[in-house]
Amino acid sequence: MLTSALREMEKGNSIFEREIRKFQAPVCRIFLDDQGRIAPVVFTSTGQVLSAGNSAAARQEFSRIANAGGSRLLQARGVNPAPPSGKKVAVLFSGGPAAGGHNVIAGLKTALGKKNTLLGVRGGPAGLLAGSLFKITDKDIKRILNTGGFDFLGSDRTKIKTPEQFAQVKKVCVRYKLDALVIIGGDDSNTNAALLAEYLFAGVKKDGSGIQVIGVPKTIDGDLQAGRLLPISFGFDTATKIYAELVGNILQDTPSSRKYWHFIKLMGRAASHVALEVALQTRPAVTLISEEIAEKKIPLHKIVKSIADTVVRRYRKGLRYGVVIIPEGLIEFIPDITSLLKTLNELTAKYAPELNGLALDKRPEFAARKLSGSKALLFRSLPGYIQEMLLLDRDSHGNLQVSQVPTERLLIDMVAAHLKKNVPDVQFSPNSHFFGYEGRCGAPSLFDAAFTFNLGLTAGSLVLANHTGYMAAFTDLQKGGRVLAIPLTGLLNIERRHGREEMVIAKALVKTNSRAFKFLASRRRDWAGSDLFTSPGPRQLWGPAARQTPISVALNQGYANLNFEL
Amino acid sequence: MLTSALREMEKGNSIFEREIRKFQAPVCRIFLDDQGRIAPVVFTSTGQVLSAGNSAAARQEFSRIANAGGSRLLQARGVNPAPPSGKKVAVLFSGGPAAGGHNVIAGLKTALGKKNTLLGVRGGPAGLLAGSLFKITDKDIKRILNTGGFDFLGSDRTKIKTPEQFAQVKKVCVRYKLDALVIIGGDDSNTNAALLAEYLFAGVKKDGSGIQVIGVPKTIDGDLQAGRLLPISFGFDTATKIYAELVGNILQDTPSSRKYWHFIKLMGRAASHVALEVALQTRPAVTLISEEIAEKKIPLHKIVKSIADTVVRRYRKGLRYGVVIIPEGLIEFIPDITSLLKTLNELTAKYAPELNGLALDKRPEFAARKLSGSKALLFRSLPGYIQEMLLLDRDSHGNLQVSQVPTERLLIDMVAAHLKKNVPDVQFSPNSHFFGYEGRCGAPSLFDAAFTFNLGLTAGSLVLANHTGYMAAFTDLQKGGRVLAIPLTGLLNIERRHGREEMVIAKALVKTNSRAFKFLASRRRDWAGSDLFTSPGPRQLWGPAARQTPISVALNQGYANLNFEL
């Protein structure tokens, strides 16, 4: 009966979930042995030394892993003729979820094979510190294959930084007799992986040897990239395909109902990669790219005026609707806003007792009087709820949680005010949206399913080939794929964070001289003036529309088309 | 080059859109002639007289169309042996967009064939009044086939009600020498179709004959249904599959990041069909069904307490997260709220000058003092911004625009306050979402693509077979499909609207004795207590997961499984 069939579908057994579990993601040919079975590979140095600004300092701070690999890029040479057995490897997720994480584990387990053991760490770095590990079985893998989310292990955002934490990790490694740790995470987590690789390099086990640490590049934000070596991090494609479908649906709605402007904020923290990719997929009237705004020093009132001008231009052509795409991190890139925020940080610290003594809605006037010139003008031009927000409590570093600012509402209100003042005859019916959590845990696109399974095979191969301090990488997806290992020391850089210098992997921002940005810039005036949008539709796992590389990746990598060939 | 390929993709030519245009939606066998070509059908009376409460009154008010068809259900008998030629038919969209509208037009055009003419009305009923019609070509059909949105014609919400408007429609019909009108719309638009069918029944053309009017049932809300004769309106399946994917992704996110409660409001106006279907697809911790709340007279504080209890129950089991699904129309179904609203409507009318003389944030205290007993208590228990909202200006009928009330925020704030007061140790990190516009214009699911193409064939066949005052219907999709025509008079009912009695098609609400609701009710306690959710994934147009009937439809229709067979 239908009701019992529906009962059986509970707990991750929808029709879709059942079918995708039967699905073998495409694998790079180098992972196939003579008999066509998937097998781990060995690596050879390409001789290419990677450096990222301050590599000398990095090689000094990470001297043990740097000396071992010479910060040289590795590339897969062929199937491992005699993979070791008896290795114990633990894998963990770190940071926000991204589609394909489960396939990394599936690839890892496949590479390790039956003669080695894979343990899962529950609940991310905090779970590692707590020693919450368990053995991952083949049955587990069958259940999680091609599914979205990080729920199999769970994740968290704990940073392993203090000497006590490092010592604790070592203790857990010894307790579980681990030989290697695989850390699936973003830029910060891979920085952590480098620190752990260095710390655990030697002297951990009884025979004096160490614990290998391998990173796997994850983040939907797309800000962990390494040029031709790593075109993108995993999860970006699925997230942007989900957002692009929604934006495309809304775009299709605009000339259907003919009355709304939709302001859509997209997740992606600082970098605008997500906004750029979704814009390339959908061709909306307006796309804001934070990096361009910072570079060209465009003040807030000009952004508002530019959107309003587009609203008017379209309105006069009978197009009383449109879509504006806004990157999540925008507000921190608008020059006059960042300068105002800095002053407000000082001001709220200086006048904390006075401000706290005032009702919320009285604080803006108090603050406005303490500001002068253009800052006072800018502050007074903001809607009241934004003024109040900007005067709220700071975090422990004295900074405002700007991610909380509803930029999409701010822009709507300011554009509406601008239109009312300057072109009162123009009707403007706005709607706001924020797409974020919807895109992190969707079932992976075919691109991400393949990308992550191959990354997992790469990470497993690196472990079996006794490497440490590397990040698994996979590139050239348009021509069969190329398996690489990037030395983490080659990505590290000195940055000022929280008031002190730290060795970190720099976030990759959108470059205004990149092919992807330049293509947007070359087309956006036409997209603003008429309806040239596309609706990319729901991502397909089967059929003729399933194989699609992200457009920004294909452009920046110089691919000839959007098809990937594995 | 990639950039030129990307240029060619602009204006609705994404890879997905190109591929779906090549796609022939499955067609009911009755539409196939001897040689397997798609052809219009003829109809025969089933003898079944339809009635909806007040059919005698309806048959009187609509005597001409009622007498012609006797309010009898028609069913397709076989291919039309000699379809007429030279007919001129106009088609229009009315109301909010829904996926599959373009396929209705494609089916209609296919049924009419090359010997009859199909005109499109630009911009809905307003465009009909303005006489904005154009000829639809085969090339148009190729372009719109299987695509989402109503953008090919556009739509609007004008109601044709006044004698002047009826006369104007007649004029446009004469001017364009129309033989028939096909109106694609919801309950109100099909009521309009009945009125027009009656008005245009005879005496329009020189020979004294009339203009046929055929309705096609559209609405994502799912509130236009007719039992076994019409399981659902088109657009519902696509919208709920889009929302269900998003809700499923968010559910998958909850045990991955392990910290958030997501309160998700879903579009669907009054009825909770959308919320119910999405809940059946995804199995979240909490689902509110407006109709149940009204029927059981559950007051707001009990709804809040019940959600809070689930939050606590899960928290104690280590599940510090969950999802709550909220139907858009909820607030109008909560008994103490509707009673409060009624009093506030009177109060705001009586004290308009006093209230308008007060600042927004001073009005609640003024109003609260005018309320007594439980109403004063309830009003004071609401968050300040909701109190202010409930005192805002009324529409022309003296009613509040309740759809503007952010129910998802209201519930979050009240649950948070309840938890803080009663179980302060329970951490509660809520997020709110509203999914609406994202689901109206997506590319149709395979179900909707097929459903709508067959509805279009049905509407075209009705026109060619000289029927009027019918709504095209299509049912039994699990066993090849059955083509029906429902007499609009059989759906009409007397309802009090805007202070006077009107003949309307009643909105179908969720029945608490329906199989779909009862299945939810039987499972929800388990879904609340542990993670049994499913992630139904993106709708597929190809492959093994493509054929899926809405779960609520399959349950209510008594289908044996979710597969549809056409």
CB contact under 8 Å between A256 and B441, yes or no, is yes
Please, are residues B90 and B136 in contact by the beta-carbon 8 Å criterion? no
Q: Which residues pair with A496 in a beta bridge?
A: A501
Nearest to A443 among B6, B532, B537 (CB): B537
Distance between CA atoms of A7 and A504, rounded to whole angstroms?
48
The CA-atom distances, in angstroms, between B253 and each of A118, A412, A549, B243, B247 are: 24, 29, 24, 15, 10
Sort strands B88-93 and B72-79 into parallel, antiparallel or unpaired.
unpaired
Q: What is the CATH number of domain B236-439+514-553?
A: 3.40.50.460
Closest Cα of chain A to B377: distance in Å?
25
Task: Output the pLDDT for position B51.
Answer: 79
CB contact under 8 Å between A16 and B441, yes or no, is no
Closest Cα of chain B to A559: distance in Å?
7
Please, are residues A342 and A374 in contact by the beta-carbon 8 Å criterion? no
Element (H, E) at A343: helix A335-350
Give chain B positions within 8 Å (CB) of A148: 249, 252, 535
How many residues belong to chain B? 566
List all residues 6 or more positions away from B369 whose beta carbon is below 8 Å from its beta carbon.
none
Closest Cα of chain B to A399: distance in Å?
21
Give chain A positions within 8 Å (CB) of B541: 540, 543, 545
Residue B397 predicted with pLDDT over 70: no
Give chain A positions within 8 Å (CB) of B6: 280, 519, 551, 555
Cα dihedral A52, A58, A64, A70 sign:
positive
- In this structure, of B65-79, B230-244, B323-337, the range with the lowest mean pLDDT score is B65-79
Give the dihedral of Cα atoms A65, A66, A71, A77; nearest 10 deg: -40
pLDDT-derived band at B74, boundaries 50, 70, 90:
very high
Domain B23-235+441-505 part of CATH 3.60.21.10: no
Task: Output the pLDDT for position B62.
Answer: 92
For B340-448, strand residue ranges (E) read 429-435
**Number of A–B residue contacts, CB under 8 Å:** 268
Nearest to B548 among A15, A440, A533 (CB): A15
- In this structure, of A11-25, A47-61, B253-267, B434-448, the range with the lowest mean pLDDT score is A47-61
pLDDT-derived band at A335, boundaries 50, 70, 90:
very high
CB contact under 8 Å between B245 and A1, yes or no, is no
Give chain B positions within 8 Å (CB) of A93: 256
Closest Cα of chain A to B433: distance in Å?
8
Picking from A438, A440, A552, A559 by the largest number of B CB atoms within 10 A of its own CB, the best residue to mutate is A438
Most confident of A345-349, B22-26, B378-382, B395-399: B378-382
Residue B295 predicted with pLDDT over 90: yes
CB contact under 8 Å between B6 and A156, yes or no, is no
Whole-number percent of chain A with pLDDT over 90: 90
Distance between CA atoms of B201 and B209, rounded to whole angstroms?
7
Q: Please compute the mean of the pLDDT values over residues B166-188 and round it to a whole number.
A: 98
Q: Which residue of B has its CA nearest to A261?
A: B437
Please, are residues A564 and A450 in contact by the beta-carbon 8 Å criterion? yes
Picking from B22, B362, B523, B535 by the largest number of A CB atoms within 10 A of its own CB, the best residue to mutate is B535
Higher pLDDT, A452 or A59: A452
Tell me the backbone φ, ψ of residue A406, rounded to 5 degrees. -80, 80
Higher pLDDT, A60 or A520: A520
Residue A400 predicted with pLDDT over 80: no
Nearest to B74 by CA among B41, B96, B103, B99: B41
Is residue A439 classed as helix, strand or coil in its secondary structure?
A: helix
Closest Cα of chain B to A396: distance in Å?
20
Residue B399 predicted with pLDDT over 80: no
Nearest to B545 among A16, A147, A151 (CB): A16
Q: Please compute the mean of the pLDDT values over residues B414-439 and round it to a whole number.
A: 97
Q: Please compute the mean of the pLDDT values over residues A149-163 and round it to a whole number.
A: 95
Give chain B positions within 8 Å (CB) of A6: 280, 519, 551, 555
Taking the model in full, what pTM does it have? 0.97
CB contact under 8 Å between B541 and A539, yes or no, is no
Residue found under tokens 């906004």: A275
Nearest to A543 among B148, B433, B541 (CB): B541
Is residue B338 classed as helix, strand or coil in its secondary structure?
A: helix
Give chain B positions within 8 Å (CB) of A260: 437
Give chain B positions within 8 Å (CB) of A446: none
CB contact under 8 Å between B537 and A151, yes or no, is no
List all residues 6 or more positions away from B409 whose beta carbon is below 8 Å from its beta carbon.
B263, B383, B385, B432
Tell me the backbone φ, ψ of residue A435, rounded to 5 degrees. -105, 120
CB contact under 8 Å between B542 and A538, yes or no, is no
Residue A553 predicted with pLDDT over 70: yes
Residue B223 predicted with pLDDT over 90: yes
CB contact under 8 Å between A519 and B123, yes or no, is no
pLDDT-derived band at B430, boundaries 50, 70, 90:
very high
- In this structure, of B113-122, B340-349, B537-546, the range with the lowest mean pLDDT score is B340-349
Picking from A535, A542, A549, A553 by the largest number of B CB atoms within 10 A of its own CB, the best residue to mutate is A535
- CATH 3.40.50.450 residue ranges for chain A: 30-235+441-505
- Selecting among A140, A179, A187, A221, the annotated active-site residue is A221
Considering chain B, what is the average pLDDT of its residues? Answer: 95
Q: What is the CATH number of domain A237-336+401-439+514-557?
A: 3.40.50.460
Distance between CA atoms of A93 and A157, rounded to whole angstroms?
9
CB contact under 8 Å between B252 and A442, yes or no, is yes
Distance between CA atoms of B241 and B231, rounded to whole angstroms?
17
- CATH 3.40.50.460 residue ranges for chain B: 236-439+514-553
Assess whether B187 carries a catalytic annotation: no
List all residues 6 or more positions away from A274 whose beta carbon is below 8 Å from its beta carbon.
A220, A221, A222, A236, A239, A240, A243, A266, A267, A268, A327, A328
Q: Please compute the mean of the pLDDT values over residues B346-366 and round it to a whole number.
A: 92
Complex ipTM more than 0.95, yes or no: yes
Q: Please compute the mean of the pLDDT values over residues A214-239 and round it to a whole number.
A: 97
Give chain A positions within 8 Å (CB) of B538: 16, 242, 245, 442-443, 538-541
Task: Output the pLDDT for position B156.
Answer: 93
Tell me the backbone φ, ψ of residue B464, rounded to 5 degrees. -65, -25
- Selecting among B140, B179, B187, B221, the annotated active-site residue is B221
Residue A398 predicted with pLDDT over 70: no
Residue found under tokens 């845990």: A441
Q: What is the CATH number of domain A30-235+441-505?
A: 3.40.50.450
Q: What is the pLDDT of residues A339-363, one digit of tens each?
A: 999 999 999 999 999 999 998 889 9
Residue B500 predicted with pLDDT over 90: no
Q: Which residue of B has its CA nearest to A519?
A: B3
Residue B17 predicted with pLDDT over 90: yes
CB contact under 8 Å between B559 and A258, yes or no, is no
Q: Please compute the mean of the pLDDT values over residues B173-198 and round it to a whole number.
A: 97
Task: Output the pLDDT for position B53.
Answer: 67
Residue B386 predicted with pLDDT over 90: yes
Nearest to B65 by CA among B548, B488, B431, B498: B488
Residue B481 predicted with pLDDT over 80: yes
Q: What is the pLDDT of residues A406-465, one digit of tens each?
A: 999 999 999 999 999 999 999 999 999 999 999 999 999 999 999 999 999 999 999 999
CB contact under 8 Å between B281 and A541, yes or no, is no
Please, are residues B304 and B262 in contact by the beta-carbon 8 Å criterion? no
Q: Which residues pair with B482 in a beta bridge?
A: B475
Element (H, E) at A482: strand A482-487
Distance between CA atoms of B22 and B151, rounded to whole angstroms?
20
Distance between CA atoms of B43 and B37, rounded to whole angstroms?
19
Whole-number percent of chain B with pLDDT over 70: 99
Give chain B positions within 8 Å (CB) of A150: 256-257
Please, are residues A443 and A455 in contact by the beta-carbon 8 Å criterion? no
DSSP H stretches of helix in B200-283 = 236-257, 273-282
Is residue B88 classed as helix, strand or coil in its secondary structure?
A: strand
* DSSP one-letter code for A508: P
Task: Output the pLDDT for position B494.
Answer: 85
Nearest to B536 among A14, A149, A154 (CB): A14
Residue A53 predicted with pLDDT over 70: no
Task: Output the pLDDT for position B403.
Answer: 73
- CATH 3.40.50.450 residue ranges for chain B: 23-235+441-505
- In this structure, of A225-239, A507-521, B195-209, B345-359, the range with the lowest mean pLDDT score is B345-359
Task: Output the pLDDT for position A397.
Answer: 67
Residue A402 predicted with pLDDT over 80: no
Task: Output the pLDDT for position A166.
Answer: 98
Give chain A positions within 8 Å (CB) of B262: 437
- In this structure, of B238-252, B344-358, B513-527, B540-554, the range with the lowest mean pLDDT score is B344-358
Residue B372 predicted with pLDDT over 70: yes
Task: Output the pLDDT for position B311.
Answer: 98
Cα dihedral B349, B355, B360, B365 sign:
negative
Q: Is A296 exposed, middle or buried (0-12, 13-18, 19+ CB in 10 A)?
A: exposed
Q: Which residue of A has its CA nearest to B1?
A: A560
